[in-house]
Chains A and B, each alone.
Chain A
Amino acid sequence: QQQVKQSPQSLIVQKGGISIINCAYENTAFDYFPWYQQFPGKGPALLIAIRPDVSEKKEGRFTISFNKSAKQFSLHIMDSQPGDSATYFCAASKDRGSTLGRLYFGRGTQLTVWP
């Protein structure tokens, strides 16, 4: 059972355009929603994360939009660059008191930015 559903599976964007990746979850106990970027041969690297007490978080060209009632969140990459070409994963977890909870990952989105 996929706890976090991610779409699209692949995305092609022109340089300077906006890349949008969407995720949905079912478990309302989730309270931490990170996005990871993974390049070939590397492990996932934390890009940006949000907690459900805010609806949007922006860091540079990356923005997370969060809709608690719809149980959806999305990643927007503004002014997309060829160097952004990578696989992006959304994830979710729930704190377990004093311990960081396990991550549930989406299946990933392969982003290609054309120069």
Chain B
Amino acid sequence: DAGVTQSPTHLIKTRGQQVTLRCSPKSGHDTVSWYQQALGQGPQFIFQYYEEEERQRGNFPDRFSGHQFPNYSSELNVNALLLGDSALYLCASSTRQGAYGYTFGSGTRLTVV
């Protein structure tokens, strides 16, 4: 049973560029959340999607946007990259009621130079 799959695993971008990260949720899960984890810190919530709509959003600027597709997979887009956007981006999936909590992927390591 495949868990949460994220791609790519590593990415290097230049300041000012745009990036798209991808996530396939665990089988049977319909809700996807994105988290940003800076080095040495706990994950910070970015937003959550289900039924192809953004349902909750954390304290992140509009440069961060997302999308959920009919097959429940999701994308995270970040525009006008800043050096401070360098982090591990984690995707977490769950059922809507979250009876078994969240399952996290291994993340995408984004480095902005």
A associates with B: yes
Instruction: Name A residues whose Cβ lies closer than 8 Å to a Cβ of B.
Output: 4, 6, 32, 34, 36, 41-46, 49, 89, 91, 96, 98-108
CB–CB A43/B104 < 8 A:
yes
Say yes or no: is B106 at the interface (Cβ < 8 Å to chain A): yes
CB–CB A44/B104 < 8 A:
yes
Q: Which bucket holds chain B's interface residue count? A: 20 to 34
CB–CB A103/B50 < 8 A:
no
30 contacts between A and B (CB under 8 A): A4-B42, A6-B42, A32-B101, A36-B104, A43-B4, A43-B105, A44-B43, A44-B90, A45-B104, A46-B102, A89-B42, A91-B42, A99-B31, A99-B50, A99-B55, A99-B96, A100-B96, A100-B97, A100-B98, A101-B56, A102-B33, A102-B56, A103-B102, A105-B42, A105-B43, A105-B44, A106-B42, A107-B40, A107-B41, A108-B41
- The interface residues of chain A lying within 8 Å CB-to-CB of B107 are 42-43
CB–CB A49/B90 < 8 A:
no
Q: Could you count the A-B residue pairs with CB atoms below 8 Å apart for me: how many are there?
A: 67
A44-B90, A46-B102 given; A103·B45 CB < 8 A: yes
- The interface residues of chain A lying within 8 Å CB-to-CB of B42 are 4, 6, 89, 91, 105-108
CB–CB B105/A102 < 8 A:
no
CB–CB B104/A108 < 8 A:
no
- Complex: how many Å from CA A33 to CA B103? 15
Say yes or no: is B74 at the interface (Cβ < 8 Å to chain A): no
CB proximity of A68 to chain B, nearest CB, Å = 20
CB proximity of B2 to chain A, nearest CB, Å = 14
- Considering the complex, give the chain B residue whose CB is closest to the CB of A6: B42
- The interface residues of chain B lying within 8 Å CB-to-CB of A32 are 101
- Considering the complex, give the chain A residue whose CB is closest to the CB of B99: A100
Say yes or no: is B94 at the interface (Cβ < 8 Å to chain A): yes
Which of A41, A96, A100 is most buried by chain B, counting CB atoms within 10 A of its CB? A100
